[in-house]
Structure 1
Amino acid sequence: MTIFGFAGVFTAFTYIKPILVDISGFSVNSVAYILVLFGIGITIGNIYGGKLADRALMPSLIGILVLLAATLALLGALSPWKIATLILVFLLGVAAFGTVPGLQLHMLNTAREAPTLASTLNIAAFNLGNALGAYLGGIVIDFGIGGGLRAVPWSASLVTLIGILFTLWGNRQSRRG
């Protein structure tokens, strides 16, 4: 869940500067300011993702992952438009880090006998997702898959969909056991 749920974020975010400059038409100098929007989104997502996870863990986690996949797909479709891109960069931050508390809480709930080990492994899974996402985005660009750079957000959305499938499966397994 964590690897693929979070890999989608870094499939796109690793290449956010070329997306913003080469596709959306922003100046290189404006990228840092745009990333402030992402940072504000991260803060909001982390706060409200935690509150939602406390109320209804799996439904909120699935909902936030769906929001993440939709945001990435919309970024793929709307990145030529500056205003839409700014909104989507903010929403990407919200959705990306809205998943973090729920993924961490799910891991802790699942591994009650060894919470420290589970937490450590989940952080490793986030890092593996970061690396996998950057690698997959690079493959899309290098091989020109689906249009290269323009297809990176779309491929990020597909990676997140894999994370959603694992989350649905994990939810089903935890209800059984």
Structure 2
Amino acid sequence: MLSRPLLALSGASFAIGTTEFVIMGLLPEVAESFAVSVPQAGLLVSGYALGVAVGAPIVAIATARLPRKTALLALMAIFLVGNLGCALAPSYGLLMLARVVTAFAHGAFFGIGAVVASNLVPRHQRTQAVALMFTGLTLANVLGVPFGTALGQAMGWRSTFWAVFGIGLAAAAAIAASVPSGLPGSFGGLAGEFRSLRRWEVLRPMLVSVLASVSLFCVFTYITPLLRSRSGLTPGEVTGALLIFGIGLTLGNLAGGRLADRRMSATIVGGFAGLVAVLVLFAFTSRAAWPAVMTLPLWGALVFALVSPLQIWVVEAASDAPNLASTLNQGAFNLGNAAGAALGGAALSLGFGYGTLPWIGAAVAAVALALTLSGRVGVASPDGEGAFDAAPAARG
């Protein structure tokens, strides 16, 4: 299944994922550089996520009728301009602006890229193809975030954004060289496509996607200070812990794609149930270094086992508007990122300790599980006849 176009898409997702997540490992350095608090620096995560959420529908409309390859290259150009701005930003406000500019490329790239990836393989391998594209995002946590964090700590946080700019430039060149040019944009009316997205069977998986991200980011946004202050890890040990977390993300992402192509509902329901349990466990294991580090890969695996199944669930539920639905679901994920970062920051500002954050994440994941079980998890069957895989609660 692995091909040059999928590798190019994965390389671009690596660059995008690194610039999104690496800021979390650099929060103390950025806060010190601009003389702001760590929770205020954490708003750079929220700002990026809100940029994705707001930018996704805008960019979806702007690129709707462009050939898919042209749209992907235009989005990579926006990404490069944004990262250049991050590397050069002289103030906290301008860094926030540059992050938002970068974020405008994010939702549409993953949305369009997921549809392109799913069209490059047989129908029964669609979720695995999307998972392979998202492997770049998980490898950003295995390689990009730990090494970007180490680079930023050693040579200043701006050096990390210069490195991401170079990776993004190489990824754009690979897309130009390998992604097929014959994939058209939307030929339908945008008003009709937006109307199709108002159906509850489309909105429900998008809401589940929001809650999945809230559960992750209310904890992960503050993972560096949590591991330093609560678990007792040194800055260098935090880098190693993030590497281990990223390995879990990568393995979970690939496993989730493979499992979901066989049983979508079981993968999503089981993923959320496991996520609740692991976050409750992390509330206790985070009190000490080694138990905390050992919990991280399991948490990461469960989180990213859900990403490609949720994406395909939305695309299949909105089969008459797949490009738009896929892009908007990326906005939904990142709306959850912003809400999660803000929720975690609010808890810290109110005086709750870092140990409270995993409990909040578990509670949100439990709500997502309940919403998933409230109806059918629908995907088209491999034979293309549109059969649905019913969630356990809906079988009767």
TM bucket normalised to smaller: over 0.9
State yes or no: 1:60 paired with 2:267: yes
State yes or no: 1:111 paired with 2:347: no
User: What is the distance in 1 between the residues matched to 2:348 and 2:209?
Assistant: 24
Q: Tell me the residue number matched to 2:358.
A: 153
State yes or no: 1:9 paired with 2:188: no
User: What is the distance in 2 between the residues matched to 1:108 and 1:170?
Assistant: 17
Quick check: 1:46–1:100 contact (8 Å CA) kept in 2? Answer: yes
> Residue 169 of structure 1 aligns to which amino acid in structure 2?
S
Which structure is larger by alpha-carbon Rg, 1 or 2? 2
> SS state of the match for residue 169, structure 1?
coil
Q: Tell me the residue number matched to 2:15.
A: none
State yes or no: 1:162 paired with 2:367: yes
> Residue 74 of structure 1 aligns to which amino acid in structure 2?
L
> Residue 10 of structure 1 aligns to which amino acid in structure 2?
F
Deviation of 1:59 (Å): 1.3
1:129-148 equivalences under 5 Å are 129-144=336-351, 147-148=352-353
Q: Alpha carbons of 1:131 and 1:170: their partners in 2 closer, same or farther (altered >3 Å)? A: farther
User: What is the distance in 1 between the residues matched to 2:335 and 2:229?
Assistant: 28
Quick check: 1:5–1:164 contact (8 Å CA) kept in 2? Answer: no
State yes or no: 1:90 paired with 2:297: yes
Gaps of 5+ in 1: none
Deviation of 1:105 (Å): 1.3
User: What is the distance in 1 between the residues matched to 2:275 and 2:268?
Assistant: 10
User: What is the distance in 2 between the residues matched to 1:26 and 1:172?
Assistant: 41
Which runs of at least 4 in structure 1 moved beyond 4 Å after TM superposition?
172-176
What does the per-residue CA deviation read over 1:59-115, in whole Å, with 9 as the maximum and x for residues that have no partner?
110101111121111111221122221111111211111110110111112111111
Deviation of 1:170 (Å): 4.0
- RMSD between aligned alpha carbons? 1.6
**TM-score for both structures, normalised by structure 2:** 0.42
Q: Alpha carbons of 1:24 and 1:156: their partners in 2 closer, same or farther (altered >3 Å)? A: same
Count of paired positions: 174
> Residue 131 of structure 1 aligns to which amino acid in structure 2?
A
> SS state of the match for residue 374, structure 2?
helix
Gaps of 5+ in 2: 1-207, 379-387
Quick check: 1:3–1:125 contact (8 Å CA) kept in 2? Answer: yes
**TM-score for both structures, normalised by structure 1:** 0.92
What does the per-residue CA deviation read over 1:111-164, in whole Å, with 9 as the maximum and x for residues that have no partner?
1111111101111111111111101111111112xx421101111111111111
Report sequence identity in percent.
37
